[in-house]
Structure 1
């Protein structure tokens, strides 16, 4: 029951050297909500040592709120920021002879595209040059999924191992005390349910159908390293 695990990195926690050996791919912050040239280079170098695939993790350009709030920004400014973030990481990757494996939006940008058709179209039109280069990490049964498939993007379905879900498959708001799952055993049980039943148990106790190819564990979740170690132990031995 091997799993594909991804993690958001380069966000200022300096735990990449511990996390990389425990994951399969990483989403590297590229200057929007966190990160700079130095942190991107460091993440790429550590990923090479650990044979971890790399992806760009663009967001609203808002380091104050860590990209977790929708901000007032024009479509053209947002488009420019997104493509600049991705291309900055691509340039670094290219200097090491690497290609981007995927692109995964961050925070409010990611969550908003679950329901926002206009934003999803803007995002996908902005990154159209990457359509044949890499895949998109996106959630199942979302607006961006439907539009990305119509536009011919390669998609990889993502679920969150350390987050609770609402009945509509949106993530429980971080303002809710039950948003995060931080106990390693509880995370493993959450993942087992998803893996074995192809559904997720929501915050309301209901089971909703879901698809996944990769599971995200946030590097800033409490106990993230213990969670990743527990996942590796549990599923590598299954």
Structure 2
């Protein structure tokens, strides 16, 4: 069997002091740009680390809600939401250009990511904002989501993202973090979930059902306390069996 090539990403620039430890295992990263966390200096720090380790960079805009770390849906006017996303992307672009780096992708954060996966208006607003700042870009989107459909409709390049360390519902959406078992901790469980998606295009849900799932880029959350150990485990396993190559 030929090797399957995947991208391995993490969300960074979110105040996690161990970022330097796990950055070498990634092929791309999504950098918080002020909505849920971050400022110019935190973005610069993450970009410099990414540059040092040869990791591709992406912008990670959110609801403008640092109080809840962008993990709750905000009651916000759509025009205000669009402007907030534009402001975040422009801040990211400014630092990126100062560091002479190139954009790889854009990925919504937290509740905004989940809302755009289900709600067409939010998905359109998100793309409208991206279009105001970047002429050409790649979106990381959930498989078979409203966000994917809107990206297709509007001719926006996208890559399906799946999660190695999050449990899925039968709907194909992520189990809410407030629920027991929403975050996977065991490195072997994470390895098996990624391989099942990458090699067999399916995932086992929290309820035990097997559903279709596609993924070209896989996220391991940097705020997971054992992110470095998980990523090291994954890369070591794939170096040995060669079924999956991180590129």
TM-score range, shorter chain: over 0.9
1:117 and 1:143 in contact (8 A); partners too: yes
2:58 counterpart of 1:58: no
2:44 counterpart of 1:41: yes
Aligned mates of 1:221, 1:39 — CA distance in 2: 19
Which of 197, 220, 224 matches 1:217?
Answer: 220
2:90 and 2:133 in contact (8 A); partners too: no
TM-score (ref. length: structure 2): 0.93
Q: Which residue is equivalent to 1:70?
A: 73
Which of 158, 163, 166 matches 1:163?
Answer: 166
Q: Which residue is equivalent to 2:245?
A: none
4+ residue segments displaced more than 3 Å:
129-132
Which of 88, 92, 103 matches 1:89?
Answer: 92
2:140 and 2:161 in contact (8 A); partners too: yes
Aligned mates of 2:209, 2:134 — CA distance in 1: 36
Higher mean displacement: 112-121 or 100-109: 112-121
Aligned mates of 2:191, 2:125 — CA distance in 1: 36
Quickly say closer, same or farther: Cα 1:131–1:88, change in 2 above 3 A. closer
SS in structure 2 of the partner of residue 174 of structure 1: coil
Q: 5+ unaligned residues in a row in structure 2: which ranges? A: 242-247
Q: Which residue is equivalent to 1:112?
A: 115
What is the number of equivalent residue pairs in this alignment? 238
SS in structure 2 of the partner of residue 3 of structure 1: strand
The two structures, once aligned, show a CA RMSD in angstroms of: 1.2
Q: Which residue is equivalent to 1:25?
A: 28
Aligned mates of 1:14, 1:153 — CA distance in 2: 34
1:163 and 1:180 in contact (8 A); partners too: yes
- Per-residue CA deviation, residues 142-176 of structure 1 (Å, 9 max, x unaligned), is 00100111101000110000000001110001111
TM-score (ref. length: structure 1): 0.97
Aligned mates of 2:83, 2:195 — CA distance in 1: 40
SS in structure 2 of the partner of residue 102 of structure 1: strand
Q: 5+ unaligned residues in a row in structure 1: which ranges? A: none
Q: Which of structures 1 and 2 has the larger relative contact order (alpha carbons within 8 angstroms, sep 6+)?
A: 2
Q: Which residue is equivalent to 1:121?
A: 124
SS in structure 2 of the partner of residue 157 of structure 1: strand
Query: How far has the Cα of 1:196 moved from its partner?
Result: 2.4
Which of 155, 163, 173 matches 1:152?
Answer: 155
1:160 and 1:216 in contact (8 A); partners too: yes
Aligned mates of 2:66, 2:53 — CA distance in 1: 28
Quickly say closer, same or farther: Cα 1:130–1:141, change in 2 above 3 A. farther
Which of 9, 12, 16 matches 2:12?
Answer: 9
Query: How far has the Cα of 1:133 moved from its partner?
Result: 2.2
